[in-house]
Structure 1
Amino acid sequence: MEEIAQTTPNFNIQISPESHDEEVRRAFGRPYSNRELESFLSAAVRNKAKRIDLFFMTGLPKQDYNSVLETADYCRHLLEQYGGNKTLFPFISPLAPFLDPGSMVFEQPEQFGYRLLFRTLEEHRRALEGPSWKYFLNYETRWMTRDDIVFSTYEGGRRLNALKGELGIISPALAAAIDVRITQAVEMMKRIDAIVDSMAGAEQEEALRKLGIHVKEMEKSIVCDKRELEWPTHFFRMNFLKILRTILFPGRPNIMRAS
């Protein structure tokens, strides 16, 4: 980390621990402990990383609904310990919309605790015509249904959003606006489910059509604001000396020799 800081002073980091639960993380192929994760974060903060993005997920092997909420709670600990300079940004989102076709998990879902809902290209195409992102998901797990994945994502996102507002990572006004969007999205999801469960054919299509424009609005950056994902940049990001040397001496290698 020290070498990175020396060679790239304005550096950002993205890391995907996936879950606070080490067993869940290990099951998803991330064999490091929370202690190791926090040691890494401490080093990143100490070496003045400009921004550190932490990505957590829902819909993982061995992860249940409560585990998702505990991940959001774990983020409080991380932010209180390592987020004092407002450079640490945690996010939570579903493993969506698909388990990647052709991946080991897709080919052997039962081995990893997944149950595939679609397998063929046509099944996936039809799923993408569904009325909400819940109906795009091509899997459930032994620990969570599609409903669990959807609503734990919203509730985990709500808790994380409230935490960011409380600690000043985002403004109170933005936190309040996101909370309203999450509430509206949950209500819209329930309305869609009610239509799908109680209607069929043309009646269902008409009812969903009437909701369509509202659904599109609800699914835009719901659990966080898209601006939260923007990395800090500097105007003078390019090495103009190297660019000038390349223009003037195009035949020469544009590298600095070690002295």
Structure 2
Amino acid sequence: MKTEVALVHAPSIYDFRTRDIKLGPISDVIPSTPVFEMYPIGFVSMLSSLIQEGYNARICNVAAMMVSSGKFDSVKYLKDVESDIFGIDLHWLPHVNGALKIARIIKDLHPNSKVLLGGFSATYFADDIMKNYEYIDFILSGDLQEKNIVKLAETLENSQGINNVPDLIHRDGSRILHNQHGKSSIDDVFLNYGVLMKNAIKYHDIKGHLPYASWLENTEAMTVIEHGCSFNCAFCGGSNFAYRNNYNDISPVYRKPEIIAEEISLVQEMLGSPVFITGDINRAGEKFYSSLFQEMKNRKIDLPLLTEFFVPPEKHYLDELGRNFPDFTVEISPESSNETIRNKNGRPYDNKSLENFIENSITAGSKKIDVYFTIGLSGQTVDDVNIDLDYSEGLMKRFTNNKEKLYTFISPLTPFIDPGSLIYEHPGDYGFTITAKTISDYFNLLENGKIWTDFLNYYTKWMNVEQIARATYESEIRMIRIRQSLGLLAGQDAEEIVKNITGYMHGDNYISNENRSSHLSYIEKDVEWSYKHKLTKESFLISLYRSYNDVKKKL
């Protein structure tokens, strides 16, 4: 079935299945694999917007299908997709290799179709891309493009001039043209998983619409409370500084509580799955979160919720959260146990506040608490990393028991310091050296690298690449031993993971799963936060389809 728009998600490295590469810890602390096969949540919103306006549109998660099957032929699949526009996300920079290679394949297969890029990284490197990659026809720059992608589809359908499509970057001969900036509204964002599921059936392409490879095994939904951010974490490409200077004039922009609640209500009705609410609800203010909680209560929301915090909230907020939603989980990223380092990198609070937050979360009834630390921060030495490990062990021993579970995680800043972030724009002020600048630099890092440290685009005056790597390996072994000592990880599993990490350290053989995308150290149950689902007609069908796939694999 022909479409006007096909939204295509590429793997981070296109030929990851055939290359001898060790992807390492670059995605240990997220559900996605090192191939980063989770497409941006904006795909769901843009799909909803296009369909609402009467256009045929679909999602093609090529990355997830490549992860799921070594036999999947991406070229054959894309050849069978007929579309006027192929929209490829280049949101986070780790996708540059896969995104540009998929774009080239699509242009060769469908020379009369238009290839469109969008996302933060596409916006940041827009002129560079348009100058050097002739098979890219358009870039939609900035954020909140739900209406503009509809406008582009309409313009091409009616053979109108494209100069009136807001935020579009295109060519006129050798000239690169930037259309006027549009006034997009956050009210245009709506994440409708019902539309996603119906569309998967319409195009007989369930796997192509999956948000990530393991979504069938543990279905989760996501909603967002804001675009942009009020904080300036120095390494983040979505920080207030980065967002306002590159993607939107205002940061953050909050969504209406009733719209967020309606999205979650649809998830409850259709999927019955846990929901990750991204963004710090507490920081949006009491008026916001009180309204959101009331809207959710009005809709009788009774799903497991994962909530994240950028700074520790007060006890009264956590108590309010627990009273309204007894099945909730919390996560926070102090980055470092050293308060000076933490503040320099954009997390303005002390350890006492962090520990009070953990205690208050337990009192309020949080089912699980995740605390994240980072290697490679400004001002951080190897000794500081070891102190972080001591602090992490103390937290886990203090707060983990038969009723409560607190997990600490530690991982390096990988693979790149985000373009547009404070460190990227002012590396000297933060003691960093950035080793790649152009889009081709980043493409080649991923194209030629053999191990995850080859991909890094930075080192600091406190830690070189080798020290970052060794600190990562030793830290993750220590974290595994801590879990083992607390009974959170079986001895056999622990030994296999330690063997894996040791293999990485010494360049020896390592344990890899069949799709060559396994995490380096953290096992899946650490990262996952809830397996509770409500039975709905759609969730029953998902279960049947999962069982069918399991049988098919065995046969």
- Smaller-chain TM-score range? 0.7 to 0.9
1:142 maps to which of 457, 461, 468: 461
| Alignment map for 1:170-249 (pairs within 5 Å) | 170-188=489-507, 220-236=518-534
1:118 maps to which of 436, 455, 458: 436
TM-score (norm 2): 0.37
**Closer, same or farther in 2 for the Cα pair 1:212/1:160, shift >3 Å?**
closer
The equivalent of 2:393 in structure 1 is 76
**Closer, same or farther in 2 for the Cα pair 1:83/1:137, shift >3 Å?**
same
**Closer, same or farther in 2 for the Cα pair 1:46/1:67, shift >3 Å?**
same
The answer (yes or no) to whether the contact 1:49–1:87 under 8 Å persists in 2 is: no
**Which segment drifts farther, 91-100 or 165-174?**
165-174
Q: Give, in whole Å, the separation in 1 of the partners of 2:370 and 2:502.
A: 25
Deviations 1:140-159 (A, max 9, x none): 01110011111101111111
- Deviation (angstroms), 1:3: 0.2
- Deviation (angstroms), 1:180: 0.9
The answer (yes or no) to whether the contact 2:500–2:511 under 8 Å persists in 1 is: no
Q: Give, in whole Å, the separation in 2 of the partners of 1:232 and 1:82.
A: 19
Q: Unpaired runs of 5+ in structure 1?
A: 192-210, 239-259
SS for the counterpart of 1:102 is coil
Instruction: Tell me how many residue pairs correspond in the alignment.
Output: 217
The answer (yes or no) to whether the contact 2:431–2:460 under 8 Å persists in 1 is: yes
SS for the counterpart of 1:49 is coil
SS for the counterpart of 1:177 is helix
| One-letter amino acid matched to 2:363 | R
Higher helix residue share: 1
The equivalent of 1:103 in structure 2 is 421
The equivalent of 1:156 in structure 2 is 475
- Deviation (angstroms), 1:213: 11
Deviations 1:188-241 (A, max 9, x none): 1xx7xxxxxxxxxxxxxxxxxxx9997x98873112113310112322288xxx
The answer (yes or no) to whether the contact 1:109–1:116 under 8 Å persists in 2 is: yes
- Deviation (angstroms), 1:29: 0.5
The answer (yes or no) to whether the contact 1:62–1:143 under 8 Å persists in 2 is: yes
Deviations 1:166-205 (A, max 9, x none): 01122222111111111111111xx7xxxxxxxxxxxxxx
Q: Give, in whole Å, the separation in 2 of the partners of 1:71 and 1:177.
A: 24
- Deviation (angstroms), 1:70: 1.6
SS for the counterpart of 1:31 is coil
Q: Give, in whole Å, the separation in 1 of the partners of 2:386 and 2:438.
A: 33
The equivalent of 2:82 in structure 1 is none
Q: Give, in whole Å, the separation in 2 of the partners of 1:181 and 1:121.
A: 32
**Closer, same or farther in 2 for the Cα pair 1:155/1:91, shift >3 Å?**
same
**Which segment drifts farther, 219-228 or 73-82?**
219-228
Coordinate RMSD, CA, aligned:
2.3
SS for the counterpart of 1:32 is coil
**Closer, same or farther in 2 for the Cα pair 1:212/1:51, shift >3 Å?**
closer
| One-letter amino acid matched to 1:49 | S
| Alignment map for 1:53-72 (pairs within 5 Å) | 53-72=370-389
Q: Unpaired runs of 5+ in structure 2?
A: 1-317, 537-555
**Closer, same or farther in 2 for the Cα pair 1:135/1:40, shift >3 Å?**
same
Give percent identity, aligned residues only.
Answer: 32
TM-score (norm 1): 0.78
- Deviation (angstroms), 1:83: 1.5
The answer (yes or no) to whether the contact 2:337–2:387 under 8 Å persists in 1 is: yes
The answer (yes or no) to whether the contact 2:500–2:510 under 8 Å persists in 1 is: no
| Alignment map for 1:16-35 (pairs within 5 Å) | 16-35=333-352
SS for the counterpart of 2:346 is coil
Q: Give, in whole Å, the separation in 2 of the partners of 1:104 and 1:2.
A: 35
The answer (yes or no) to whether the contact 1:69–1:155 under 8 Å persists in 2 is: no
| One-letter amino acid matched to 1:15 | I
Q: Give, in whole Å, the separation in 2 of the partners of 1:6 and 1:178.
A: 39
Runs (4 or more) in structure 1 with deviation over 6 Å come to 211-214, 216-219
Q: Give, in whole Å, the separation in 2 of the partners of 1:150 and 1:63.
A: 14
The answer (yes or no) to whether the contact 2:503–2:510 under 8 Å persists in 1 is: no
Q: Give, in whole Å, the separation in 1 of the partners of 2:357 and 2:392.
A: 15
- Deviation (angstroms), 1:86: 4.5
